[in-house]
Amino acid sequence: MEFKQFSQVAILLGMVVILIFFVLCKVLYSWLVLPKLKYQKLKENGFEGPAPSFPLGNINEMKKELMNTASSATSSPSLSALKISHDIHSLAFPYFAKWQKLHGKVFIYWLGTEPFVYIADPEFIKKMSAGVMGKSWGKPTVFKRDRKAMFGKGLVMVEGDEWVRHRHLITPAFTQANVKGMASLMAESAKNMLDRWTALIDSGNPEINVEKEIINTAGEIIAKTSFGINYENGEKVFNKLRSMQFTLFKSTRYVGVPYGNLIMCPKETLKAHNLGMEIDSLLMSIIEDRKKMKKDDLAQHDLLSLLLAGNGKTLSTRELVDECKTFFFGGHETTALALTWTLLLLAVHTEWQTQLREEIKQVMGDAEIDPIRLACLRKMGWVINEVLRLYSPAPNVQRQTREDIQVDNLVIPKGTNIWIDLVSMHHDKQLWGEDVNEFKPERFKDDMIHGGCKHKMGYLPFGFGGRMCIGRNLTMMEYKVVLFLILTNFSFSISPNYRHCPSIMLSLRPTLGLPLILQPL
């Protein structure tokens, strides 16, 4: 009897040892063997770059450069409101700025065991993308896994025929006609924000952190215009999405290291997962409530109504939740940050506040907001284009190859990740000239699309190819409505408490907010 029990225990222990050995072998293979094979193949294909140290790749060097930059940015007097430089590439991406000097504008770097082809050369992008359809580009698998809680399988993450299906169903919500119909709702939320500003100024508080205000207002706008939900429900979703954003992008994490986040930062990984579940539950209830509404009661122009109708081609409930998360986050973040950076630049260059007010008076007169007339504000168009060049809220474009791609003497293997550095290209003297880091909206006067850039692929504010931002019409309309109302109600200047330290937290944002001094007109 004892021998039998001993045998059973020995067998069980043996199985545990074999399992542990198998797991260790799998981890070691994914941490060391496989990335070294990839590294060797990329070197044979002609790529150079900073030497990786597996399984972390170049992560430690990237973190070190970021820490050094953050330390100097928050302490240096040269970054105060009195001296604002728009030469921000070395602030936003200090490691890329360093590696560019050593390896040029095309090289390989490693997030953990995942290789990325870094590109800041528009000619290389042109050759690489020639003949590649939108659905033939993938998204980096490592980001799809890491950001699953935030985006799921929404439009920014799906690929191939699924991407085509999703985009076909979503595109009708963003036609010019539908977007124009949302202008009054945008104005209503913006006016509520301006009323709060007036109350604060009247109470003796003219300094306002406009970044926070605008982000909240943009969230309210997207909740109303795209999903037809009230502010209370929208605020719940946004607060949880914001918390998830901080969890995923502000903490010390190990993206690209197999099992890295589970082993080295389990607390943040679990928190992001739980937030994702809570957001899913909130959106499920919103979707189910909308499904119960009578067809005649649905506002047929908003995104959720169109996705629910589907014209015979509907999305599953799970897909609807993921698209809601994608547009809840992406639909307000880009516009809010574009407006925030615009107010910073106009606060520094007050002569452009005057020029825009004069144009508004000439074009709009004393009329209420008119989407058709808003489209005629040419100088405002120059300003937004220049803002998106100097402070692009979406600072990079990410892709993954689905086939081998040859560019000159370099071969990008199938499955390789691509990272296009828009901040670098938008601040490149070779493309824009010696005044590249100056705020000069007039550069778009005679070339509204490229702003005089010497290469047509050198200015990509909304991405490129078939996967360009689907909501750009909505972004432009919301931007003009809100900026129009701010300019016609307030003048503003930079607060001496502002510290200029742009940083990346998925998007390009002012690390310490944007305090402005406002004066009613």
Cα–Cα distance between 307 and 173 in angstroms, integer? 9
| Beta carbons of 84 and 348 less than 8 angstroms apart | yes
For 138-157, the pLDDT digits (tens) are 888 888 888 888 888 888 88
pTM for the full predicted model: 0.89
pLDDT class of 301 with cuts at 50, 70, 90:
low
Gap between the Cα atoms of 318 and 325, Å rounded: 11
How does residue 78 score in pLDDT terms, banded at 50, 70 and 90?
Answer: very low
Per-residue model confidence as pLDDT tens digits over 459-476: 998 877 666 777 778 888
Residue 497 has pLDDT above 70, yes or no: yes
Q: What is the pLDDT of residues 165-208, one digit of tens each?
A: 888 888 877 777 777 778 888 899 999 999 999 999 999 999 99
Residue 251 pLDDT: 55
pLDDT band at 1 (very low <50, low <70, confident <90, very high): low
Chain centroid to CA 445: how far?
A: 27
State residue 340's pLDDT score.
97
Q: Would you say 265 is a known binding-site residue? A: no
Quickly state the pLDDT bin for 256 (edges 50, 70, 90): confident
Give the position of tokens 């050094």.
68
Q: Which two tokens stand for residue 268?
A: 């943040």
Alpha-carbon gap, residue 9 to 236, rounded angstroms = 52
Q: Given a cut of 60, is residue 342 above it in pLDDT?
A: yes
Pick from 128-137, 315-324, 486-495, 499-508 the range whose average pLDDT is largest.
486-495
For residue range 81-140, what is the model confidence (pLDDT) as tens digits?
A: 557 899 999 999 999 999 999 999 999 999 998 999 999 999 999 999 887 766 667 888
The pLDDT assigned to 455 comes to 95
Check: CB of residue 393 under 8 Å from CB of residue 337. Answer: yes
What is the C-alpha separation between 148 and 139, in angstroms, rounded? 12
Q: Which has more pLDDT, 453 or 1? A: 453
Of residues 508 and 82, more confidently modeled:
508
pLDDT at position 250 over 70: no
Q: Per residue in 259-294, is it b (16+ CB within 10 Å) or e — as a string?
A: ebbeeebeebbebbeebbebbbebbeebbeebeeee
Residue 7 pLDDT exceeds 80: no
Q: What is the pLDDT of residue 495?
A: 94
Domains and CATH numbers, the chain: 32-67+83-520 (1.10.630.10)
Higher pLDDT, 166 or 519: 519
Mean pLDDT of the chain: 85
Taking the CB of residue 372, how many other CB atoms lie within 10 A of it?
8
C-beta separation of 327 from 222 below 8 A: yes
How would you write 285-315 as a 3-class SS string?
HHHHHHHHCCHHHCCCCCHHHHHHHHHHCCC
- For 311-315, the CB contacts below 8 A with 24+ separation are 313/165, 313/168, 313/169, 314/169, 315/166, 315/169
Which residues face 509 on adjacent strands? 503
- pLDDT computed for residue 395 by the predictor: 92
Q: What is the pLDDT of residue 424?
A: 97
Q: When comparing pLDDT for 359 and 165, which is higher?
A: 359
Give me the pLDDT at residue 253, please. Answer: 67
CB atoms within 10 A of CB 15: 10
Q: How confident is the model at residue 209 (pLDDT cuts 50, 70, 90)?
A: very high
Angle between helix axes 317-348 and 231-249 (nearest 10 degrees) is 80
Q: What is the 3-state secondary structure (H, E, C) of 469-507?
A: CCCHHHHHHHHHHHHHHHHCCEEEEECCCCECCEEEECE
- Which of 33-42, 228-237, 321-330, 502-511 tops mean pLDDT? 502-511
Pairing status of strand 417-421 against strand 114-119: parallel
pLDDT at 288: 83
266 vs 214, higher pLDDT: 214
Query: What integer pLDDT is reported at residue 153 of this predicted model?
Result: 86
For residues 304 and 331, the answer to whether their CB atoms sit within 8 Å is: no
- What percent of the chain is helix, strand and coil (3-state, nearest 5)? 60, 10, 30
Say if residue 311's pLDDT is above 60. Answer: no
Question: How many CB atoms are closer than 10 A to CB 462?
Answer: 17
Residue 316 has pLDDT above 90, yes or no: no
